[in-house]
Structure 1
Amino acid sequence: MKAKKLIHNANRPKVSVIIPVMNERKTIRRVMARAAKIHPQVEIIVVANGSTDGTARIARAAGARVLVYPKPLGHDVGRSIGAKAAKGDILLFLDGDIPIASADLIPFIKAVEDGVDVALNRYAGPVHRTQVHSVILAKHALNIAMGRSDLRGVSMTTVPHALSRSALRTIGADILSVPPCAQVRAVANGLKVEAVHHVNVGSTNPRKRKRVNGKDPLEFLILGDHAEAIHKLLTMKGPRANRIDKIRRREWLV
């Protein structure tokens, strides 16, 4: 039986949905089906990198614009590639292994339509624990360093999130491959970065089921991304990120 297309109005899209995938044949059609309902004019861009299970074929049959790379591109690089190919005024970023209800995606589109430049998932991770995950701590630390403690653990690392076309022009597509650095650039350039809607992706994230010896295989990569982001912040804002040194008289030490 021929697969039914989900996307029909992608010629002049208002919204571009970008979905990097690697072997997500079990979920990609559900992810697309829900994304297809968020706006009358939507295009779905699937960046298939290193997939060998037919994910690209399924996505293409369902109407997605599929960009195929035989080898894995590395974590989040697909976001940059998809953003460069996007034609819409609003860019929504999803993961191919986490189907999210359309009703939980629409608020991100509405927020950008209402003037938000970077609309983030309000999910900040569980912090009321004896031992908080190091990635959650890194997200909180980065936001505090940027002077955005109100964001708590909210991050561009987390899907779903959306950007305006003007925000993409300001921060650039390449930096999206390191989401914490993209967040630093967005805040530093005075863009309106807001947590707009809560989607609990923590409980549905398949990475939790792919632990190796009890460890998250992406933990150190994401921590490295946040270290790079803090370095970028200090490079842009100075060694104290524009924070005062209070009463310290450091010149007396020389």
Structure 2
Amino acid sequence: MVLGARQHALRVIVVDDGSRDKTAELAKLAGAQVLVHPQNLGKGAALKTGFQAAKDSDIIITMDSDGQHEADEIPRLLEPLLKGDADVVNGSRYLNGNGDHETPAYRRVGQNVLDTATNISGKINVTDSQSGFRAFAGHTIPLFRFHSHDYTIESEMLIEAAKAGLRIVEVEISATYGEETHHKKNPISHGVSVLVRILQDMEFNRPLYYFTFPGLILVFVGMILGLKFFGEYLGGQMTTLLPTTLAALITILGTFMAFTGLILHSVSRMIWRVMGK
């Protein structure tokens, strides 16, 4: 990976995130600048370290080091930046649906869920929100806060880029899958943790999606059930009003959620207006 990247970059940085093998030694021998975390801190922390070290660069390329990405495709990501057509370039394995058949089915299902959640939260339209192969113009570096220390950083960076008004362009990349045997984190727990974090961000970024729409669904369901149960009570088919009462409580909860979303949405718009966004 280092030797391939050196063919296209002036400087290659490897962040050794607390590994117990020969990563640091071999990367140095290959000509990389190696930054070492004494203990494993997570991908988000590794990216933060790398970005800090490369903060004076005109362009930063990020790549996973498991051999999944092809260094020869770096020029493909650089092109939109060099032409001035983008601020962030996202390498997509699934642009035009070309990589769907190469990804294990269970992973693709989970990635589709994460893509949808990321797109809703960031008001963007990307086909590969979990890609680690990306290019960033130098002026974008200060905009990223790196709050996430784990793999949720991929979605966080896209959402932050969108909120900052950056131009995000996707280019097609290939991918070689060999991580199934050595990936440290269970893909299901990984996907769930990323989704939970995106939903937490959505609570503040998209309150209409997080509160109002689910609330309206609850109002609708509660009213339908309430009318049904009350009709059955009046018709003598039911001897208690308990189901009707529960349906009424669902309606009230839904109403509360819907208004909460509207209020938070208004507050959010006021904040962004004050900030000049």
2:25 matched to which residue of 1?
Answer: 57
1:190 Cα deviation (Å)? 1.4
1:147 aligns with 2:123: yes
Change (3 A) 1:205 1:77: farther
Report the counterpart of residue 247 of structure 2 in structure 1.
none
Question: Identity across aligned pairs (percent)?
Answer: 18
The residue number in structure 1 matching 2:208 is 239
Residue of structure 2 in register with 1:200 after alignment: 174
Q: Bigger radius of gyration, 1 or 2?
A: 2
Deviation at 1:110, TM superposition (A): 2.0
Q: In proportion to residue count, which structure has more strand?
A: 1
Aligned position for 1:165: 138
Quote the Cα distance in structure 2 between the aligned partners of 1:71 and 1:130: 33
**Shift in alpha-carbon separation, 1:75–1:132, aligned structure 2, 3 A:** closer
* 1:92 and 2:61 correspond: yes
Q: How far apart are residue 161 of structure 1 and its match? A: 0.8
Q: 1:83 to 1:218 in 2, by over 3 A?
A: farther
Aligned to 1:47: 15
2:88–2:168 Cα contact (<8 Å) kept: yes
Aligned to 1:103: 72
Q: 1:172 to 1:164 in 2, by over 3 A?
A: farther
The structure where helix makes up a greater share of residues is 2
Whether the 8 Å contact between 1:118 and 1:162 is mirrored in structure 2 is: yes
Structure 1 residue 138, shift from structure 2 partner: 2.2
Higher mean alpha-carbon deviation, 234-243 vs 43-52, is at: 234-243
For the residue of structure 1 that corresponds to 2:51, the secondary structure is helix
Q: Is this contact kept in 1: 2:15–2:49, CA < 8 A?
A: yes
Query: Structure 1 residue 36 and structure 2 residue 14: aligned?
Result: no
Give, in whole Å, the separation in 2 of the partners of 1:101 and 1:219: 26
Q: How does 1:216-231 map to 2 (within 5 A)?
A: 217-231=186-200
Aligned residue identity for 2:143: T
Give the secondary structure class of the aligned counterpart of 2:141: helix
3-state secondary structure, aligned to 2:209: coil
- Residue type of the partner of 1:210? H
Native 8 Å contact 1:34 1:100 kept in 2:
no
Distance 2:114 2:202 in 1: 14
**1:176–1:121: structure 2 CA closer, same or farther, 3 Å change rule?**
farther
Query: Residue 136 of structure 1 is aligned with which of 87, 111, 115?
Result: 111
Identify the residue that residue 72 of structure 1 maps to in structure 2.
Answer: 40
| RMSD between superposed Cα atoms in Å | 3.3
- Contact 2:70 2:174 (C-alpha < 8 Å) held by counterparts: no
TM-score (norm 2): 0.64
Unaligned runs of 5+ in 1: 1-30
Residue 121 of structure 1 is matched in structure 2 by 91
Give 1:192 shift. Answer: 0.6
Residue 72 of structure 1 aligns to a residue whose secondary structure is coil
**C-alpha deviation, 1:46, in angstroms:** 0.8
| CA offsets 1:141-186 (integer angstroms, 9 cap, x no match) | 12441433x423x12x312111112222223355585221121111
Letter in 2 for 1:147: K
* In 1, Cα distance between equivalents of 2:178 and 2:26: 20
Structure 1 length as normaliser, TM-score? 0.70
Gaps of at least 5 residues in structure 2 are 224-250, 253-277
SS at match of 1:43: coil
**Residue 60 of structure 1: how far off its partner (Å):** 1.4
Q: Is the 8 A contact 1:176 1:182 kept in 2?
A: no
- The CA deviation at 1:32 is 0.9
Counterpart residue identity of residue 181, structure 1: E
Distance between the aligned counterparts of 2:118 and 2:183, measured in 1? 27
